[in-house]
Amino acid sequence: MSQRTARKIDNHGDAVELARRRVPKIVFHRLEGGTFAGQTQRETVDAFEHVRLVPRVGTHFERRDLGTTVLGHRISMPVLTAPAGGIRLSHPDGELGVTRAVGAAGTIQIVPAMTSFPIEAIADAAAGPIFFQLSYPGSLEAVEPVLERLKAAKVAAIVLTIDMPAGYRRERLYRERDALHGGNKAAGWGGPTLRNFHRIAPDVLRHPRWLYRYARDYRDAVRTPMLCRPDGSPMYVWEAPGALFSRPVVWADIPWLHDHWQGSIVVKGILSVEDARRAVDAGASAIVVSNHGGNMFDGAPPSVTVLPDIVDAVGGQVEVLLDSGVRRGTDVLRAVALGARAVLIGRSYAFAHAAAGEAGVRRVLEVYRTDIDRALALLGCGSIAELDRSYVQQRRTEMLSTTGG
Ligand SMILES: Cc1cc2nc3c(=O)[nH]c(=O)nc-3n(C[C@H](O)[C@H](O)[C@H](O)COP(=O)(O)O)c2cc1C
């Protein structure tokens, strides 16, 4: 069943529509996200269309090389999966299904702090290196036992999401007043309540397959084994945002983390040259230029528009990755041509997972690979490594000024 559904996914839009049919609105809207007016979310996707790549014609490469490295780890294409907490609420395969799909694709999964599977199970299923997005369950020191578990699981890097200083507003979700997990306006995610169940019941009951799986998987799906309370028991997904927002990641934490982790640190959520430099000074090995897919501050710039300046400022010192708004293979090439080493995809795989679990994520990664390969061929470029700004069309205003027009 999942395989058949997965085969129907040929692009992002297909995954969105299949997910829309398969999960109730309360789940779908969590994946769709967007905060406040949704401006950043919209513009972040649209911005890619303004980056034009100019093909070199008259070239033919029998084979294109899609491979690259991230922090020294060879990957088969410049696409990683972004941390996306809570996806097991849409399909029981959850983060572990993503691990298997990513392993088959030969790339890297960034496991979210809010994973519903423990890192040990993910490490067992992983075919290659894994990164872990670290959040603090209430205090920085509370993360020490987590770091020990990550080391034992041979996690290759920790990712610090630094753009979550406060809770966001998800107006669409509030309107529905999520009755299954509703109530927590600050985080957009709250504890279970039957108070408003009658409002969503008709829609939930229209998705009996989802409801059956959810009910069967509920006990594990709503737990976060990498975010524990002081007594060591895992939090519920609706407790986690409150804990995380009570102690967000700040620059001053990084020296402590260097001492206690002693491995690679990636800082995710950079949108300015100043912060990129700060990450370099703090000893980050890589940064992710990201506006959180438009899920945090509405009004922030599209990540692809700030990428070139950040690459120019710090590209020689750290690896620069990008996420937010990547929807197809050509977007990957656009980001790489502008200087990103690789991209992270979020909704692209989260919707496919909601539609068809692990099979959906496998399919989406295959589609990315095929698209990137075909686009490279059409671009007249033999490898990801050769792609640079000479393939990017200059903006017309710049062209006019250089020609004196
Ligand atoms: C459903 C969902 C859950 C997410 N959860 C997290 C999270 O737990 N931690 C985090 O750092 N980012 C999280 N993000 C943000 C992603 O890591 C990534 O920055 C974003 O999805 C990229 O934009 P895109 O969805 O347009 O690809 C989440 C995104 C989505 C869509």
Q: Whose CA is nearest to atom 4 of ligand 1?
A: 84
173 has pLDDT over 90: no
Q: What is the pLDDT of residue 196?
A: 64
Q: What is the pLDDT of residues 281-313, one digit of tens each?
A: 999 999 999 999 999 999 999 999 999 999 999
Mean pLDDT of 353-367: 98
187 has pLDDT over 90: no
Active site residues: 292
What is the DSSP code string of 125-145? Answer: H-SS-EEEEE--SSSSGGGHH
**Alpha carbon distance 229, 354 (integer Å):** 29
At 110, list the tokens: 């960034």
400 has pLDDT over 80: no
22 has pLDDT over 80: yes
The H or E element containing residue 26 is helix 25-32
Mean pLDDT of 337-341: 98
- Please give all residues whose beta carbon lies within 6 A of any atom in ligand 1, as ranges: 30-31, 33, 82-85, 112, 114, 133, 161, 268, 290, 292-293, 295, 323-326, 345-348, 350
CA-110 nearest atom, ligand 1:
17
At 210, list the tokens: 């989802």
CB-count exposure of residue 315 (10 Å: 0-12, 13-18, 19+): middle
402 has pLDDT over 50: no
Mean pLDDT of 128-142: 95
Pocket test for ligand 1, best of 295, 321, 344 (most atoms within 8 A of CB): 295
For 191, which DSSP code? -
Among 88, 400, 118, CA closest to 216: 88
Q: Mean pLDDT across the chain, nearest whole number?
A: 91
Tell me the CA–centroid distance for residue 31 and ligand 1, in Å. Answer: 9
Tell me the CA–centroid distance for residue 73 and ligand 1, in Å. Answer: 22
Mean pLDDT of 345-374: 98
Mean pLDDT of 26-36: 88
Residue-wise over 193-224: b if at least 16 C-beta within 10 A, else e?
eeeeeebbeeebeebeebeebbeebeeebbbb
CA-112 nearest atom, ligand 1:
8
Tell me the CA–centroid distance for residue 81 and ligand 1, in Å. Answer: 9
Q: What is the pLDDT of residues 104-126, one digit of tens each?
A: 999 999 999 999 999 999 999 99
Q: Which residue blocks in 262-328 are alpha helix, DSSP H? A: 273-281, 303-314
CA angle 282, 285, 290 (to 5 degrees): 90
The H or E element containing residue 360 is helix 347-379
401 has pLDDT over 60: no
**Alpha carbon distance 18, 351 (integer Å):** 8
**Alpha carbon distance 199, 204 (integer Å):** 10
Tell me the CA–centroid distance for residue 212 and ligand 1, in Å. Answer: 26
For residue 53, give every residue at least 6 positions away whose Cβ sits within 8 Å of its Cβ, in sequence order, or none.
330, 333, 334, 337, 379, 391, 392, 393
